[in-house]
Every structure is written in C-alpha cells, then in structure tokens.
Structure 1
Amino acid sequence: MFADYHVHTEFSDDSVYPMEQVVRDAIAGGMDEICFTDHVDYGVKQDWDCGKPILYRGEEPLANVDYPVYIARIKELQEKYREKIRIKIGIEFGMQVHTIPLYRALFHKYPFDFVILSVHQVDDQEFWTQDFQRGKSQKEYNGKYYEEMLNVIRKYRDYSVLGHMDLIARYDEKGEYPFEKVKPVISEILRTVISDGGGIEFNTSYHRYGLKNTTPSVNILKLYRELGGEIITIGSDSHKAEHLGAYIKEAGHLLKELGFQYFCTYEKQQPIFHGL
C-alpha cells in the first residue's frame, strides 16, 4: 500500500498545485491512495464567505479552504479516477484553544474522512515568521507550544491524528531543544491521544527542510510506541509536485525498525491498518 496522507493543493493559501494534477502525479507515481488535507487556520486566516475583504500576503490570500468548492472538486475527482486511485476527503485544522468553537462547527458540516490536528500558531502568532518566538527564550516558546497542543486536545476530540507534532523544531533558530525538558508534557499529550483513540503522523517533510531529526523526532516516535500508540499515518506535507509521495516508503521502513507493525489510512474517520 503506497499512500500519502498529507497533501496540499491550490485550495491551501501556500500552494498553487492544481488538485487534478496532484491526482495525475500520484497515479503516475504508483500510489494506491491519497488524502487531500488543505489548510484551515482560524485566527490568522478568514473564510471566503466571511463577508469581509480577504487579506493577502504578497500573492497568497490569507484564506481558509473554500469548503463547498473543495468538497465538490474532490468528489468529482473521486468519480473520474475511481478505477485508478482512491482519493479521500481530508483537512488540516491549524487549531488554537480560542478557535476551537469554529472547528467544531466546521467538522460537523462536511463529510471529512480524515482530520489532521496541527498547531501552527499560538496567540495568533505564526512560527515560520518568528513572530511567536520573538522576545521569548527557547524554553518559553517550546513550553508554550506544547502546552497549547495539550490544552487543545483536552478540549477537542474530533480529529484523526496530530500533525508534525514537534513543528516548532522546524522553525527553532536556536537549534534542537533537549527532549528531556519537554518529555513530561509530550508524554501527557501522547497519553491523551492514545486514550481518546487518536494517532499521530510521520511527516516526511523534514528531508526538504534539512532537519537533523525526523518529524516528529525519533524520541517522540519511540515514546509513543512505548506508551502503547499504534495509530500512525505517513504524509509528505506536499505543496509541489516534487514533494508528493517523497520518502513515504523510507518512513515505513524506519517505523518498522522502531517497532511499529502498521500504518493507517482512513475512511469516514475510522483508521484502516496496513502492515509495514
């Protein structure tokens, strides 16, 4: 089974990769299944039907997925390519505690097969711009990042997996933060996820970002396994053709070395287990 479960398209504000071209590229690459997971980031982005002018960052609209068009387009492609590849309806929720009510409403409005819960911002401050880290010590911004994640999953359960759960490391200009210093809060996050029947993802984008560790780190993956975690998806976090499906198979080999027996795909919010 060759599947990519973190795929972005023209419906994300940071990608112009046409959705149908993604499907064609996935078929050409020998994939059995893909799941579209375009961005929703309440707090820093607006819905297209919000009734206000959409703000732009350069040529990028600071807007969430155009939901009705997105769902209709995926269904159209599901039918068109049903003999060649399975296509699932996913979404990536970039959640903060104060935006939870908006996601609750959205989740129940559309037929998502799969939901990635990610923390992309805290206090409406982005990581990639360094707005969140600026003025804080490395201890402070790492601590606040994981505390926000823990507080979110204590209040919100309608998700499938936690996405790139040490994302802050990608944008940490001070280098790798010692795992032992955040292990207690990460342990609590993982226990909560497991108890609630959720999972985590292995995100292969660490290759293109030049990170020294995997995403999440090997330490987090090992801890998740030790705590009894079994649900894990694999995704490229693709935004361009050259990202799609990249290092997926390598990720499967690494997970197997770490003691995992399965990876998951999803249908109607239910995990489907496949042997590694």
Structure 2
Amino acid sequence: MIFDQFKQQLPDIDPQETSEWIEALDRVVEREGTSRAQFLFYKLMKRARMLGVGIPPTTQTRYINTISPEQEPPYPGDPDMERRIRRLIRWNSAVMVTRANHRYDGLGGHLSTYASSASLYEVGFHHFFRGREHDPRADMVFIQGHAAPGIYARAFLEGRLTEEQLNNFRRETGGNGLSSYPHPRLMPDFWEYPTVSMGLGPINAIYQARFNRYLESRGLIEKSDARVWCFVGDGETDEPESLGALTLAAREGLDNLIFVVNCNLQRLDGPVRGNGKI
C-alpha cells in the first residue's frame, strides 16, 4: 500500500532536504502567488506518474458549510434549559431500552443513535419544525428509525405517552406498547412516516419532496415554504436506498428537502467510513 511505504519513511531520513523543499515552496507562494504553486504541484505530480512514483490519494477534504463562531447568530432559545431537557430525554430513552431488555432478554433496541443525535432533534423541535396546528402545510419529518426510543422519551416528557407504554417498548401487540420503529400502521396517532428498514426514510423523503413540488406546479395545492426533513445515520448512507435517489433531488432542484446526517461513526456491522473531518 502507498500509505505503508510513506510510513516507512518516518522519521525523516533527510530533514535538511525536506526543509529545503518546504522553504522553496514558501518562496514560490510569497513571490509568485498560490496559482504558480498549484501549477508546479501539477507538473510534479504529472512527472511522478511518468516515473512510476506512487502518490497518496488526497482523501481529506475541506470543511464544507462550516461557520466560524464570530459569524454565528445569537442562539434564539435558552441553552441551559434546552440542555436540561436533552439530558432528561436521553436518560429516559436509555433507561426505557435497558429496562425492556432486563425484563425480556434479547428484546433489542438502540441506545447510541438518539444519544448522539439528541441535540439535532431538539434544535429542530424547538426552533425549526412546524406542526399542523400552526400551518396546514406543516413540515414533514422523517425520523431515523433507530432514534425512535428518543422520540418516545420526548413524548413521555410532554405527557403524550404513559409510563405503561414505555414499559412495553417493543411489545405493542397487547395494545399498550410502543412499536420498535416509526410505524404508522401500528401507531397511527403517533407516527406519520415509516423509515425502517434502514434506507427507506431517505428515499421516501426525496420522492415526497418531489411530489410536493409536483402538486404545487400543477396548482393542486398552494405554494408553501414547508420543508421535508430527513434524519439519517452515517452508517445508514451505505444502504442502496439512502443515496440512490440523490441525483433526482439534484436534478429537480429540491430546495424544500433537508438531509440531517448524524455522524456518530457507529454502526452495527463495522466502522463507518469517514474522511477524518467528522
């Protein structure tokens, strides 16, 4: 592997030569600018390929859409209060799953998904998502399937679910439990959109956003700034359905669609691919 060959050169076998190369680059940038430096790099890489010199791939990319602290607007909410709410929801979510598995060994459930994405959801609930009580064209939110325990814990804090229902997590057949994942058929008064098996949420969100635009363009519904929100895990993006329709979203210019990717670098079947910038 190219990387292994480069690692064998450490520590530097000729620090003076390395320093001279770096100083030469500094002088080029200082005297002739970055464009000249880029041109020289291009020529060097071209020559290296001709000589059969392996060049390591540049897998690390720049940060995209990163906002420096001084450019951020003031936070519109109460950070301390919202932090306390998140802690309560995280606790209830974890305890609900843990208690269910103590009672029924092997019942299952996910802990890390909501634990790592609670801030994403709470900022959305407090400051972005618009419900139907305020606007007939409410936002459509596709919750990541494995984050369902956190959504249940939040509903319990709001008084919309009972302790008995939480105690029957993943045991909904008796009528007083909670489904494993977002399931409108089993819980029609709670869930709106199914998002499991993994990958179905993203592709459904894309086509929902496109259908909304179609209805607006045909004059079948009034134009609105309603959004389709899709919460997806970084490991989930390896599912064919997750990113398979992204070209449709780009081609149709679906600016009413927002993907929120929870990059916790965890998955059930191995490490998540990343570029070191997450």
Task: Using structure 2 for the length normalisation, give the TM-score.
Answer: 0.28
Where relative contact order (Cα < 8 A, 6+ residues apart) is larger, the structure is 1
The structure carrying a bigger strand percent of its residues is 1
Structure index of larger Rg: 2
Q: Which has a greater percent of helix?
A: 2
TM-score by length of 1: 0.28
